[in-house]
């Protein structure tokens, strides 16, 4: 796999080490109270302290699950279609220990974080999760699975795939090779995902049928659009929001100041992490992408509102709210290094 994924390894390993400098901004106090039992909506976020639920009307935030250890953190929290459960990754960062069992698992719990069940256990060290999506019937999850091979402190290579995990049987089926960050259309007929690092014209944002057939390159990577991340279907399925590094539309400013720690054994970060990104949308059937924000942020992850009228965007520098038609993004809360969100 390619440069974006190498950068993401450096990002995730620095997640808990990076100080959230927004905590003194006065926007909102960090979540401390437990999530209310039976909550079936709001903005789920992966934050510095764990999985957080935000009431989007009041701005009140609740701590759903605190990180269990200094090396373990939660990723890609996602509401189930009926709002009674959440799914999320549990990632253990690589410390450089050659005997370490690092990587990611996937869990499902009640919406308040109780009754956690591990539904995907990594088969070996170096297998991690890069994206989660529920099937609309709640019977399966789509996983972005990245396998990294490091031996004697040396990076040897990566492979990626989008897999379908049947929750009843635990059976996994590879749907798309070379894909990460899967998202599923509301009717369940199509997937969107990111391919990167193939060193050919196949890199970019793709769509396919839910079984992996009818693959179409929707937004190719070019000299202008050099990286894409975090695609998400709109609630009506007509558009896909995604984060992108775009060089043609503006000069490239220096990287944002909140960078993760790069250990001596890690490859040089490149491509997406630390470079200025914004959120764009594109019609599901194809066409010219449209720029939605001018945040120039680090890894902004979009989440559509339930009615599709606006998006919440979690980025390193803050949590934002922006109309789906575009316009001024309003900063409403704390950001997170490597954070993601889901709005129901």
Instruction: Among 3.90.245.10, 2.120.10.30, 3.40.50.300, 2.160.10.10, name the CATH number for the domain at 3-343.
Output: 2.120.10.30
In this predicted structure, what is the pLDDT of residue 30? 55
Predicted local distance difference test score (pLDDT) of residue 27: 47
pLDDT tens string, the chain, 344 residues long: the values are: 343 444 344 444 433 333 343 433 334 455 667 777 778 899 999 998 899 999 999 999 999 999 888 889 999 999 999 999 999 999 998 888 888 899 999 999 999 999 999 999 999 999 999 999 999 999 999 999 999 988 877 888 899 999 999 999 999 999 998 899 999 999 999 999 999 876 666 899 999 999 999 999 999 988 888 889 999 999 999 999 999 998 754 443 333 333 333 233 233 333 445 678 999 999 999 999 999 999 989 899 999 999 999 999 999 999 999 999 988 899 999 998 888 999 99
Whole-number pLDDT of residue 31 = 64
State the pLDDT at residue 32: 61
What lies within 8 Å, CB to CB, of 110 at 6+ separation is 84, 85, 86
Direct distance between the N- and C-terminal alpha carbons of the chain, in angstroms, rounded to an integer: 32
List, in order, residues 6 or more apart from 69 with CB less than 8 Å away: none
Dihedral sign of CA atoms 242, 244, 248, 252 in order: positive
pLDDT for 113 equals 94
Q: What is the structure's pLDDT at 9?
A: 41
Pairing of strands 216-220, 43-47: unpaired
Listed by start position, the domains of the chain span: 3-343
**pTM assigned to the model:** 0.85
Closest CA to 128 of 151, 161, 154: 161
pLDDT for the residue 226: 87
Three-state SS letters, 162-209: EEEEECCCCCEEEEEECEEEEEECCCCCEEEEEECCCCCCCCEEEEEE
């Amino acid at each position: 796999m390619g440069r974006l994924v190498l950068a993401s390894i450096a990002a995730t390993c620095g997640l808990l080490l990076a100080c959230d400098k927004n905590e003194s901004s006065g926007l909102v106090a960090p979540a401390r109270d437990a999530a209310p039992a039976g909550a079936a909506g709001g903005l789920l976020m992966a934050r510095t302290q764990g999985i957080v639920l935000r009431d989007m009307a009041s701005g009140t935030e609740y701590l759903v699950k605190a990180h269990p250890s200094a090396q373990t953190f939660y990723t890609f929290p996602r509401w189930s279609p009926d709002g009674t459960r959440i799914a999320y990754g549990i990632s253990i960062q690589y410390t450089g220990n050659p005997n370490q069992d690092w990587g990611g698992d996937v869990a499902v719990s009640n919406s308040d974080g109780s009754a956690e069940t591990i539904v995907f256990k990594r088969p070996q060290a170096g297998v991690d999760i890069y994206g989660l999506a529920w099937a609309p019937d709640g019977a399966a999850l789509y996983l972005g699975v990245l396998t990294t091979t490091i031996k004697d402190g040396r990076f040897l290579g990566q492979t990626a795939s989008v897999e379908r995990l049947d929750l009843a049987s635990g059976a996994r089926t590879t749907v798309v090779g070379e894909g990460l960050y899967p998202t599923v259309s509301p009717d369940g007929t199509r997937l969107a995902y990111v391919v990167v690092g193939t060193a050919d014209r196949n890199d970019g944002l793709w769509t396919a049928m839910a079984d992996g057939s009818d693959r179409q390159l929707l937004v190719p990577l070019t000299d202008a659009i050099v990286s894409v991340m975090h695609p998400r279907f709109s609630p009506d399925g007509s558009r896909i929001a995604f984060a992108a590094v775009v060089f043609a539309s503006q000069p490239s400013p220096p990287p944002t100041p909140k960078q993760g720690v790069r250990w001596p054994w890690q490859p040089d970060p490149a491509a997406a992490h630390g470079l200025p990104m914004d959120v764009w949308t594109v019609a599901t059937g194809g066409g010219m992408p449209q720029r939605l924000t001018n945040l120039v942020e680090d890894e902004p992850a979009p989440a559509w509102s339930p009615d599709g009228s606006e998006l919440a965007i979690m980025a390193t520098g803050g949590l934002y709210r922006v109309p789906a038609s575009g316009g001024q993004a309003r900063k409403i809360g704390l950001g997170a290094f490597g954070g993601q969100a889901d709005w129901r």
